[in-house]
Amino acid sequence: MSGNNKVSRIDELFELDGAHSSEKLRAALTAKIVYLLIHDLERLLSILYRIDVRECDIKAAFAQSNPTAIAPMLADAVLKREAEKEITRAQSKQHHTPN
């Protein structure tokens, strides 16, 4: 899966507008997470589960005493997890590609 597919998956799950530079994607993702934190926490948690964000990363974000720190930490955790999955897919593809 290419970087654009990773972005598309995040765009799809978080209903973003297709911000494809890493800074724009992080900013758009953070803004959407802020919205979901306020208006639809259950949906946010469901998305984080679907993406398979590590529970320790989620707990660390929610443990922040400053609520404004939660969304950027969750956005970073989402982007980190998607990058990890992309690496795993590439490694798996190398192992399964005949020489």
Q: What is the pLDDT of residue 19?
A: 57
**pLDDT 10s digits, 55-88:** 999 999 999 988 889 999 999 999 999 889 888 8
Q: What is the 3-state secondary structure (H, E, C) of the chain?
A: CCHHHHHHHHHHHHCCCCCCCHHHHHHHHHHHHHHHHHHCHHHHHHHHHHHCCCHHHHHHHHCCCCHHHHHHHHHHHHHHHHHHHHHHHHHHHHHHCCC
Determine what percent of the chain is predicted with pLDDT higher than 90: 49
| pLDDT bucket at 29, cuts 50 / 70 / 90 | very high
| pLDDT bucket at 2, cuts 50 / 70 / 90 | very low
Task: Please tell me the pTM assigned to this model.
Answer: 0.80
